[in-house]
Amino acid sequence: MSVTLVNGDKVLVTTDASGRSSAAVLPREDGTQPMVQTSQMGKDLYVYPEDASQAIAEGKVDEQLFNVTGLIRQGYDDTHRHAAAHRHLPEQCERCRKRAGGPSRGRAGPSGA
């Protein structure tokens, strides 16, 4: 399952049969590979982007925004976010317009969904 972090980085999260999760950070649109640190706390997996580490350390950003397994549990993964956008504002869903062959109007939101 994929999750888009608040900084725009996309993380692919997999969970094995024992319930342990792992993450792979996908390359950015420009092809660069984001640098991250991961931390497992119980069954929660945190993925901290390098460019957010100072703000997290200073308490300016809530580290729960980087709890990728927690985000998935709460329905903030990319699949659920896309479904919610489609249900409420399908005309603003870039992915839906592309699939239907409609005109592109740029990114529909921070995650492009």
Q: Render each residue's pLDDT in the chain as its tens digit; 113 residues.
A: 999 999 999 999 999 998 889 999 999 999 999 999 999 999 899 999 999 989 999 999 999 999 999 999 999 998 866 555 444 444 555 555 565 555 544 444 444 44
The residues, any chain, with a CB within 8 Å of residue 6's CB and separated by 6 or more, are 52, 61, 65, 110
pLDDT, residue 111, reads 46
For CA atoms 51, 25, 108, 113, give the dihedral sign. Answer: negative
**For residue 67, which phi and psi values (nearest 5 degrees)?**
-85, 90
pLDDT, residue 10, reads 95
pLDDT, residue 82, reads 53
